[in-house]
């Protein structure tokens, strides 16, 4: 069964074509990676799939729900870790999780239990009652990761999840994501980091200028081959483009 299916998704911002006909299936239980350079259309894809943005054309299904027709229905069922978003500056992590728990209809005991587990996993228990404004960027990212998983969704959309995290925490998050996938859940990961995609994903689709240009299974490649594919497919354009930056 597919957790996500899209057909010919298109989206423009004025004259700029961000998605030029994206057709994509993600089976349930896959740790899927959308890999592309800056400006390739990754966040636009996530925003459409999570009902935050309507496509100009094409269709999408997320856990059987059409995000354009029922955006709230999709957001109830999935977890979302947006790129570079911060928790509210005027709250502590504990207050924020209480808020997320009430939006997600979780009882206080469940919230507390899950928060303790996540604070242990990502080593930030000492900061649970510190205002977000006094947390480091990486500590704020730990809070955002916890919030995305707090209601134990079957599917998560995670945009550059490892940004700002030190190597120890990165390994803890990777370990968790593999366990989450092994339990039958689905991960839609968006990144421009080839190492992250190669290390973590069952399958990677490379997106460039709003189109899918290559698909690979990292386990079936050796060494740096995903980098070779990436450079071959997008490197030449990305290195001369105004929005250059293939991540390494
Ligand atoms: N609200 C917007 N208005 C105008 N243009 C936009 C808007 N959002 C995105 N774009 C443009 O659409 C294109 C795709 O952007 P998108 O954010 O989807 O890329 P991305 O692959 O997530 O990039 P990054 O890795 O840098 O986050 C880019 O050229 C971007 O400048």
Residue 46 belongs to domain with CATH number: 3.40.50.300
9 neighbors 48 (Cβ within 8 angstroms)? yes
Q: How many domains does the chain have?
A: 1
Residue 242: pLDDT over 50: no
Residue 248: pLDDT over 50: no
Point out the least confidently predicted range of 43-52, 148-157, 213-222. 213-222
Burial class (CB in 10 A: 0-12, 13-18, 19+), 12: middle
CA of 41 to the centre of ligand 1 (A): 6
The residue to mutate among 33, 34, 42, having the most atoms of ligand 1 within 8 angstroms of its beta carbon, is: 42
For the chain, what is the mean pLDDT? 93
CA distance 16 to 79: 29
42 lines ligand 1 (CB under 6 A): yes
Which pLDDT score is estimated for 225? 84
Residue 241: pLDDT over 60: no
CA of 161 to the centre of ligand 1 (A): 18
Which pLDDT score is estimated for 1? 83
Which pLDDT score is estimated for 247? 32
Classify residue 139: in a domain, yes or no: no
CA distances from 21 to 43, 57, 187, 247 (A): 15, 8, 22, 24
Of 121 and 221, more confident: 121
Bridge partner list, 61: 5
User: What is the pTM assigned to this prediction?
Assistant: 0.93
Ligand 1 atom 18, closest CA:
41
237 pLDDT band (50/70/90 cuts)? low
36 lines ligand 1 (CB under 6 A): yes
CA distance 24 to 85: 26
Classify residue 207: in a domain, yes or no: yes
Residue range(s) defining the domain that contains residue 171: 2-86+158-240
What is the dihedral angle through the alpha carbons of 100, 192, 25, 32, rounded to the nearest 10 degrees?
Answer: -70
| Mean predicted confidence (pLDDT) in 166-182 | 97
Dihedral sign for Cα 16, 22, 28, 32, please.
negative
Classify residue 246: in a domain, yes or no: no
Classify residue 146: in a domain, yes or no: no
pLDDT tens-digit series, residues 30-42: 999 999 999 999 9
Classify residue 81: in a domain, yes or no: yes
Dihedral sign for Cα 89, 90, 93, 95, please.
negative
Classify residue 71: in a domain, yes or no: yes
Classify residue 118: in a domain, yes or no: no
151 lines ligand 1 (CB under 6 A): no
CA of 166 to the centre of ligand 1 (A): 27
119 lines ligand 1 (CB under 6 A): no
Classify residue 150: in a domain, yes or no: no
């Amino acid at each position: 069964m597919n957790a996500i299916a899209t057909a010919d998704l298109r989206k423009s911002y004025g004259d700029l074509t961000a998605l030029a006909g994206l057709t994509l299936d993600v089976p349930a239980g896959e740790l899927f990676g959308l890999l592309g350079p800056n400006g390739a259309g990754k966040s636009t894809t996530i925003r459409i799939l999570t009902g935050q943005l309507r496509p100009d054309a094409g269709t999408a299904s997320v856990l059987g729900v059409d995000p354009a027709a029922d955006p709230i229905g999709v957001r109830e069922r999935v977890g979302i870790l947006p790129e570079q978003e911060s928790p509210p500056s005027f709250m502590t992590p504990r207050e924020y999780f209480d808020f997320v728990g009430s939006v997600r209809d979780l009882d206080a005991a469940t919230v507390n239990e899950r928060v303790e587990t996540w604070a242990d996993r990502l080593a930030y228990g000492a900061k649970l009652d510190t205002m977000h404004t006094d947390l480091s960027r990486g500590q704020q990212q730990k809070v955002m990761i916890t919030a995305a998983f707090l209601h134990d969704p079957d599917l998560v959309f995670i945009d550059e999840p490892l940004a700002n995290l030190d190597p120890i925490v990165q390994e803890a998050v990777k370990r968790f994501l593999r366990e989450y996938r092994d339990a039958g859940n689905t991960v839609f990961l968006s990144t421009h980091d080839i190492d992250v995609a190669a290390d973590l994903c069952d399958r990677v689709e490379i997106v460039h200028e709003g189109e899918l240009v290559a698909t690979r299974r990292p386990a079936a490649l050796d060494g740096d081959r995903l980098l070779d594919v990436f450079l071959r497919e997008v490197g030449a354009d990305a290195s001369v483009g105004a929005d250059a930056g293939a991540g390494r």
